[in-house]
């Protein structure tokens, strides 16, 4: 297979060395080829500095009348605006901060569960992380009927298969934007078109897609979306976005004296302010990738934060396609079974996350051998038991996953490939 010209790393305007220099963890000894980014990515120094700065200088409760407390309020307001730029939200009050994506999905499902009435059907998929399935299944107790949108034999969700599942009773479609296990991307704008035509809403799990490509809630035309900061080069925290008019009427838990308006009505209790400050810095880092590019048409500074983020995320996407190409070549030439999109002509349909198996080596042994050679990958069920079943893998042993992001390199892939092929040859 010849490499498409577009994917020649030399032609991709991306300075991986400069980027790696910003991430202290990538220079630690002993060296680690870090291919477990799907479980959480490393952070640039600027994120650490922002967390530190917050803790050292304004570690106080928000909402007070003294300067430090007002600084916390300002930091949270600025962070909401940063997230709004990252995901193209119309209004920063559509963004709520909290613990993680799972707890937001639970909050959302509890609220939706109180609105079922005659529309009581919830569509879930067998590709999703269990966080976006189990919480909806719980609504059966509230009278919900669960409708499964299943992958075809090619381990992809086909939007054509969703259409016949939607009826005048469909309340919501819950699906992922990109699979954390297989790396495949779902055409969520098409999902939203179908769901809205049926009068239903769409809740997206954007956790795995977020570090790899541009989020645009307006283009996705979704109704709710959840993300985790620690997958996007930030600390452990999460956020949820929802359409303002829907959040206004969402029946969430709140103490009586809290106004029934977003984001406060979604943020019961205190969240981790320093991590929100750190996440805002992570967005600043992604923005800097778009501001600092030099190219023919890019001499002018980006017109807005969003424009810088668009440029930064597009350059990540383009560079990551070179990583995906190389990973597929390396995995397939070692004789690995790659699940999901494995054709190098279809790189646009995936991110560089690879779920694979070696025919004669148990996943735990593959991971251990990789670890012995300084390569960090993962084995197990990937919190996706239903997907494992579809792949024919047992819950106990599961599969292997190598998940890359934009600070990974072709050289690292070749190191991984050498360990893999030595293992296959029994060396
Ligand atoms: C696709 C996907 N959804 C949801 C989650 C759960 O996210 P959190 O840990 O923020 O609850 C993960 C975590 O790995 C994930 O990859």
Q: Examine the domain organization and report whether 20 and 63 are in the same domain.
A: no
| Residue 391 forms part of a structural domain | yes
Q: Examine the domain organization and report whether 23 and 109 are in the same domain.
A: no
Check residues 278 and 4 and name the one with the higher pLDDT.
Answer: 278
3 state DSSP class of 11: helix
3 state DSSP class of 361: strand
To test the pocket of ligand 1, the residue of 101, 211, 378 to mutate (highest count of ligand atoms within 8 Å of its CB) is 101
Centroid of ligand 1 to alpha carbon of 67 (angstroms):
36
Centroid of ligand 1 to alpha carbon of 57 (angstroms):
31
Q: What CATH number does the domain containing 167 carry?
A: 3.40.640.10
Please state, rounded to an integer, the average pLDDT across all residues of the chain.
95
Q: Examine the domain organization and report whether 16 and 153 are in the same domain.
A: no
Can you tell me the distance from the alpha carbon of 144 to that of 170, in angstroms, rounded to the nearest whole number? 10
**The token pair that represents 187 in the structure block:** 């055409």
To test the pocket of ligand 1, the residue of 204, 207, 236, 382 to mutate (highest count of ligand atoms within 8 Å of its CB) is 207
Can you tell me the distance from the alpha carbon of 117 to that of 99, in angstroms, rounded to the nearest whole number? 30
* DSSP, residue by residue, 164-189: GG--TTEEEEEEESB-TTT-BBP-HH
Could you list the residue range(s) of the whole structural domain that residue 141 is in?
A: 48-283
Centroid of ligand 1 to alpha carbon of 302 (angstroms):
32
pLDDT of residue 5: 46
For the cut 70, the answer to whether the pLDDT of residue 211 exceeds it is yes
Residue 386: CB partners within 8 Å, gap ≥ 6? 126, 130, 133
Centroid of ligand 1 to alpha carbon of 101 (angstroms):
6
| Residue 296 forms part of a structural domain | no
| Residue 309 forms part of a structural domain | no
Centroid of ligand 1 to alpha carbon of 381 (angstroms):
13
Q: What is the separation of C-alpha 73 from the centre of its chain, rounded to a whole number of angstroms?
A: 27
Position in ligand 1 atom list of the atom nearest CA 99 = 10
Position in ligand 1 atom list of the atom nearest CA 102 = 11
Q: What is the pLDDT of residues 88-124, one digit of tens each?
A: 999 999 999 999 999 999 999 999 999 998 999 999 9
Centroid of ligand 1 to alpha carbon of 412 (angstroms):
25
Q: Examine the domain organization and report whether 91 and 231 are in the same domain.
A: yes
Q: Examine the domain organization and report whether 27 and 68 are in the same domain.
A: no
Q: Examine the domain organization and report whether 60 and 36 are in the same domain.
A: no
**The token pair that represents 227 in the structure block:** 């993300």
CB 188 within 8 A of CB 222: yes
| Residue 9 forms part of a structural domain | yes
pLDDT of residue 301: 80
**260, 283, 306 - which closes a domain:** 283
Q: Examine the domain organization and report whether 94 and 73 are in the same domain.
A: yes
Q: Examine the domain organization and report whether 195 and 322 are in the same domain.
A: no
| Residue 366 forms part of a structural domain | yes
| Residue 273 forms part of a structural domain | yes
Q: Examine the domain organization and report whether 104 and 134 are in the same domain.
A: yes
Q: Examine the domain organization and report whether 381 and 329 are in the same domain.
A: yes
CA-proximal residue: ligand 1, atom 14 (nearest): 39
| Residue 300 forms part of a structural domain | no
155 membership: H or E segment, kind and range: none
To test the pocket of ligand 1, the residue of 96, 97, 131, 355 to mutate (highest count of ligand atoms within 8 Å of its CB) is 131
Q: What is the pLDDT of residues 229-266, one digit of tens each?
A: 999 999 999 999 999 999 999 999 999 999 999 999 99
pLDDT of residue 295: 53
Instruction: Using a pLDDT cut of 90, give the percent of the chain over it.
Output: 92
| Residue 226 forms part of a structural domain | yes
Domain count, the chain: 2
Q: What CATH number does the domain containing 17 carry?
A: 3.90.1150.10
Q: Examine the domain organization and report whether 177 and 58 are in the same domain.
A: yes
What residues does ligand 1 touch, defined as CB less than 6 Å away?
Answer: 100-102, 129, 131-132, 176, 180, 205, 207-208, 228, 238
Residue 33's Cβ-count burial label (10 Å; 0-12, 13-18, 19+) is buried
pLDDT of residue 299: 59
**Measured CA angle at 144 (ends 143, 150), to 5 deg:** 155
Q: Examine the domain organization and report whether 244 and 362 are in the same domain.
A: no
């Amino acid at each position: 297979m010849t490499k498409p010209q577009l994917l020649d790393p030399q032609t991709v305007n991306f300075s991986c060395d400069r980027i790696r220099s910003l991430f202290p963890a990538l220079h630690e000894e002993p060296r680690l080829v870090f291919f477990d980014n799907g479980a959480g990515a490393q952070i640039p120094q600027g994120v650490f500095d922002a967390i530190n700065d917050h803790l050292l200088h304004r570690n106080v409760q928000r909402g007070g009348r003294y300067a430090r407390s007002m600084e916390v309020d300002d930091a949270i307001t600025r962070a909401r605006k940063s997230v709004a730029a990252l995901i193209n939200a119309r209004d920063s009050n559509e963004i709520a901060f909290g613990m993680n994506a799972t707890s937001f999905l639970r909050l959302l499902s509890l609220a939706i569960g109180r609105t079922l009435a005659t529309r009581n059907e919830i569509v879930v998929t067998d590709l999703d992380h269990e966080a976006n399935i189990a919480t909806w299944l719980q609504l059966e107790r509230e009278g919900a009927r669960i409708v499964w949108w299943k992958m075809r034999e090619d381990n992809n969700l086909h939007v054509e298969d969703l259409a016949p599942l939607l009826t005048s009773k469909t309340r919501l479609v819950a699906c992922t934007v990109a699979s954390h296990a297989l790396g495949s991307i779902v055409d969520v704008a098409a999902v939203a078109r179908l769901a809205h035509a049926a009068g239903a809403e769409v809740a997206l799990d954007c956790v795995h897609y977020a570090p790899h490509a541009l989020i645009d809630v307006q283009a996705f035309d979704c109704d709710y979306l959840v993300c985790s900061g620690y997958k996007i080069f930030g600390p452990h925290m999460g956020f949820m976005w929802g359409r303002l008019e829907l959040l206004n009427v969402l029946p969430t838990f709140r103490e009586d004296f809290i106004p029934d308006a977003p984001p406060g009505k979604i943020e019961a209790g205190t969240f981790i302010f320093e991590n929100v400050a750190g996440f805002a810095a992570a967005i600043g880092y992604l923005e800097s990738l778009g501001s600092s590019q030099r190219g023919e048409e890019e001499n002018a500074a980006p017109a807005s934060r969003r424009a810088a983020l668009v440029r930064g995320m597009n350059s990540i996407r383009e560079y990551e396609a070179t990583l995906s190409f190389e990973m597929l070549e390396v995995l397939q030439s070692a004789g690995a079974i790659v699940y999901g999109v494995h054709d190098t002509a279809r790189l646009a349909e995936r991110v560089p996350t690879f779920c694979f198996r070696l025919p004669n080596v148990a996943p735990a042994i593959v991971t251990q051998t990789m670890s012995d050679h300084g390569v960090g990958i993962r084995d197990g069920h990937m919190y996706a038991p239903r997907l494992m079943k579809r792949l024919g893998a047992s819950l106990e042993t599961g599969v292997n996953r190598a998940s890359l992001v934009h600070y990974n390199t072709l050289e690292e892939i070749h190191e991984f490939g050498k360990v893999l092929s030595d293992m296959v040859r029994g060396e």
